[in-house]
């Protein structure tokens, strides 16, 4: 446990992805197979369900410390995490260096022998046991233990970084490790040894493996479209607001992968059923959207499908999805990524003909004689429910990652609302000592009602300046939340707006973020719910 807690601490203390990968490589190379299997299980977020709640841990701490409730709440507000708060208090109040028995247990012993029995342990036995562990451990170890107990271990590494580290430590291709780590698995020596086994022919062949291929990503267009050269050298497509995904099919086997290389096959059984029954074989790159692929519905309708691991037939019928195919990466016998987009596009048209027309379609090509005329078409994107255009050079190969100059996002400017900062609370992690989570409100008659929460858009200097203002202009405090004088107006950018019963304003914004402070406006000049109703009417005039 000492080594694993040290690894977590070191990962948290660096922003360098290369350093994080190297830390994990060193850990994997210095530990046995079973320990590594458990470490991977935790690092990839595949923890068991929580054993204890954060509230239960705080109750144990309350009983053994003399920290008053108000000070405990202040500590939590400053840190922003119960597990870390307890670890810091435990280190200062409960340290007992004479007892090191618990500290000598390995990660495997904790995960297989020590933690599971707590789920059924009576309070009178559990509380003293947890206290004894806190007294034994260092602050780092208490923090990790608390996270394991609550099932809330969120580590500053993505699944992709873990795969990179494993690939280097085991000398196995990352794509092969990705497919070996798919689905449900349990940590064991045999499982870890299977990760390091030599690759089979199918695993290393993209025409046969059902593993995600590195996505080709687009850069934002920051220059003029005219700077890209002749318009007829580019494929122009509508940019839809859905879930970027790859669909892999071989025989009757189908897998769907998100851009983050998460397996989402179980979330879309209707797509799987339809493509499994088709004659298509290969790998498609495209977008899963709500409703009809010819004119997709807003993203908030697609959100109903997310995280549904076993949706019912009625739910699927009420919340239909479809797939817009952008690219063909693999056909039944060839990897096409090294062929120009113009050729892949031709093959894609033939491939999509094999799929059910009601649920699958090819992305629409938008054409015009000049960039100027295309810019005028682009202005209609919002009426279609699109975010703008995708621009892809017809000679481009399908290159993993974000290669500058081949694909661009030519998005519309965001929608905006001028709203008043009415509340704030501390952030989490490294921002726990600053007020960085903001609530913005608009007018409803003469009353302010919340319209959005925003966490991004300000630089470090602006955050510190606003933090000082927040502390000096607080009207009331509700736990960690401060109600503020309604004086500061900010321009909030967002991608879409929908009616919402959950928001007091009656509206929900998609991807809200702070664009700037409106120093030229006072609170009376902020927008109203009537303004939002008018804006929603404009953006809702969808094409038929």
Q: Which residue has the tokens 């495997």?
A: 108
Q: Which residues contact 195 (CB under 8 A, 6 or more apart)?
A: 166, 170, 172, 177, 180, 181
**d(C-alpha 299, C-alpha 283), whole Å:** 24
* pLDDT value for 34: 95
Of the candidates 253, 293, 291, the one whose C-alpha atom is nearest the C-alpha of residue 272 is: 253
**d(C-alpha 191, C-alpha 187), whole Å:** 7
Cα–Cα distance list, 270 to 273, 320, 360, 367, 394 (Å): 5, 9, 12, 33, 32
* pLDDT value for 472: 95
Q: What is the DSSP secondary structure assignment for residue 448, as one 8-state letter?
A: E
* pLDDT value for 31: 95
**d(C-alpha 203, C-alpha 102), whole Å:** 42
pLDDT tens digits for 413-462? 888 999 999 999 988 766 777 899 999 999 999 999 999 999 899 988 99
Q: Which residues contact 357 (CB under 8 A, 6 or more apart)?
A: none
SS3 of residue 7 by DSSP:
helix
Strand-strand pairing, 219-220 and 407-411: parallel
Q: Which residues contact 86 (CB under 8 A, 6 or more apart)?
A: 57, 58, 61, 134, 142, 146
Q: Which residue has the tokens 């997310």?
A: 306
Whether the Cβ atoms of residue 149 and residue 52 lie closer than 8 Å to each other: yes
Is the C-alpha dihedral spanning 464, 468, 473, 478 positive or negative?
Answer: positive
Q: Which residues contact 269 (CB under 8 A, 6 or more apart)?
A: 311, 316
* pLDDT value for 383: 80
Q: Which residue has the tokens 């090509």?
A: 365
* pLDDT value for 443: 95
Cα–Cα distance list, 213 to 178, 192, 279, 292 (Å): 10, 23, 22, 26
Is the C-alpha dihedral spanning 228, 232, 237, 238 positive or negative?
Answer: positive
**d(C-alpha 345, C-alpha 407), whole Å:** 15
Alpha carbon distance, N-terminus to C-terminus of the chain: 60
Is the C-alpha dihedral spanning 359, 249, 309, 164 positive or negative?
Answer: negative
Positions in the chain whose pLDDT score sits under 50:
97-100
Of the candidates 288, 287, 297, 293, the one whose C-alpha atom is nearest the C-alpha of residue 268 is: 288
Q: Which residues contact 250 (CB under 8 A, 6 or more apart)?
A: 208, 210, 281
Q: Is 420 exposed, middle or buried (0-12, 13-18, 19+ CB in 10 A)?
A: buried
* pLDDT value for 185: 82
* pLDDT value for 29: 95
Of the candidates 531, 484, 487, 483, the one whose C-alpha atom is nearest the C-alpha of residue 507 is: 531
Q: Which residue has the tokens 């499994």?
A: 276
């Amino acid at each position: 446990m000492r080594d694993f807690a040290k690894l977590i601490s070191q990962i948290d203390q660096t922003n360098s992805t290369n350093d994080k990968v190297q830390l994990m490589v060193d850990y994997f190379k210095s530990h046995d197979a079973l320990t590594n299997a458990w470490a991977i299980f935790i690092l990839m977020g595949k923890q068991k369900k929580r054993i204890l709640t954060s509230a239960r841990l705080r109750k144990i701490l309350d009983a053994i410390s003399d920290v008053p409730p108000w000070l405990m709440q202040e500590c939590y507000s400053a840190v922003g995490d119960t597990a870390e708060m307890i670890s810091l208090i435990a280190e200062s109040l409960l340290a007992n260096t004479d007892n090191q028995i618990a500290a000598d247990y390995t990660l495997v012993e904790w995960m297989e022998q020590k933690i599971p029995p707590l789920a059924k342990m009576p309070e009178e036995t559990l509380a003293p046991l947890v206290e004894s562990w806190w007294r034994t451990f260092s602050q780092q170890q208490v923090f990790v233990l608390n996270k394991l107990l609550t099932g809330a271990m969120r580590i500053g590494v993505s699944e992709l970084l873990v795969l990179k580290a494993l690939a280097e430590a085991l000398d196995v291709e990352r794509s092969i490790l990705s497919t070996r780590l798919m689905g449900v698995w349990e940590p064991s020596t045999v499982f870890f040894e299977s990760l390091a086994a030599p690759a089979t022919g199918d695993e290393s062949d993209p025409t046969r493996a059902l593993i995600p291929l590195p996505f080709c990503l687009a850069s934002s267009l920051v220059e003029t479209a005219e700077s890209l050269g002749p318009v007829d050298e580019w494929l122009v497509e509508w940019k839809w607001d859905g879930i970027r995904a790859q669909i892999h099919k071989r025989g009757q086997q189908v897998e769907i992968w998100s851009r983050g290389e998460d397996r989402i096959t179980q979330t879309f059984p209707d797509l799987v059923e339809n493509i499994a029954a088709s004659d298509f074989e290969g790998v498609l790159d495209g977008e899963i959207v709500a409703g009809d692929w010819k004119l997709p519905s807003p993203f908030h309708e697609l959100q109903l499908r997310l995280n549904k691991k076993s949706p019912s037939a009625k739910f699927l019928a009420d919340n239909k999805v479809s797939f817009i195919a952008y690219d063909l990466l693999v056909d039944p016998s060839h990897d096409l990524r090294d062929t120009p987009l113009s050729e892949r596009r031709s093959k894609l048209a033939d491939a999509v003909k094999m799929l059910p027309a009601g649920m699958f379609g090819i992305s629409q090509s938008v054409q015009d004689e000049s960039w100027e005329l295309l810019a005028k078409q682009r202005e209609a994107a919002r009426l279609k429910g699109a975010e703008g255009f995708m621009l892809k050079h017809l000679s481009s190969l399908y290159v993993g990652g974000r290669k500058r100059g081949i694909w661009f996002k030519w998005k519309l400017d965001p929608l905006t609302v001028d709203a008043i900062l009415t509340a704030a609370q501390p952030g989490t992690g490294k921002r726990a000592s600053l007020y960085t989570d903001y609530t913005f409100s608009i007018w409803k008659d003469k009353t302010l009602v919340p319209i959005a929460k925003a966490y991004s858009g300000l630089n470090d200097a602006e955050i510190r300046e606003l933090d000082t203002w927040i502390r000096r202009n607080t009207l009331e405090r509700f736990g960690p939340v401060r109600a503020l004088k309604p004086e500061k107006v900010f321009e909030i950018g967002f991608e879409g707006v929908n009616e919402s019963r959950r928001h007091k304003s009656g509206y929900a914004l998609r991807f809200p973020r702070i664009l700037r402070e409106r120093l030229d406006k006072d609170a009376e000049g902020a927008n109203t719910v009537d303004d939002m109703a008018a804006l929603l009417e404009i953006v809702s005039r969808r094409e038929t």
